Amino acid sequence: MIVAQERYEHYSLPEEDRRTARRPRRGPLPRKGQVMLTGLVCIIFCTGIMIAFYYSQVLITGYKIYRLEKELAILQQETNQLDEGILRLTSLDYVEKIATKKLGMVSPDNKNVVLVNTDLGANAGRPAAPGDDAEEKKPDQGVAEDRPQAKQKNSMLQAFVNLMGHIRG
């Protein structure tokens, strides 16, 4: 068997002469150039600070809005609960339950109802003046005219009371 011999040849890029490749060194910047460069660096730094400040203000405002929205949601929920409580406490069933159980009141029977006649005419609530003769009715005519209406109102009220008695009892 024949084995090939290894060759160790290295190929590389040509090397430059370091002495000729050097650039000539510049001298220091003139005073005017140094001032301009320093001013430019300061302006860039101040602009960066302002951008960071305004960005932080936007973040703070966003957080405040988020916090106030959460507080608003909590207050709306509390308002809804209070409205439900008001509706529950002012319902007729609840008022009747409190009146009968805590205050010891009882529902009226049909026999315990007292009917009160009220005069809702023009002179209601004020005494008759002595000079009002033109508006005064004669006793016989006034009673005869008011009786059918009074009986009709009383019968309607009595029917309503009977209906309520049947519903509760």
Mean residue pLDDT of the chain comes to 77
Which are the contacts of 169, defined by CB distance < 8 A and separation ≥ 6? 107, 109
Check residue 134 and give its pLDDT: 45
Check residue 130 and give its pLDDT: 52
Check residue 19 and give its pLDDT: 57
Q: Which one is predicted more confidently, 46 or 107?
A: 46
What is the biggest distance separating any 2 CA atoms in the chain, rounded to whole angstroms? 158
Is residue 136 predicted with pLDDT exceeding 50?
no
> What is d(CA 109, CA 127) in angstroms, rounded to the nearest whole number?
36
Is residue 105 predicted with pLDDT exceeding 80?
yes
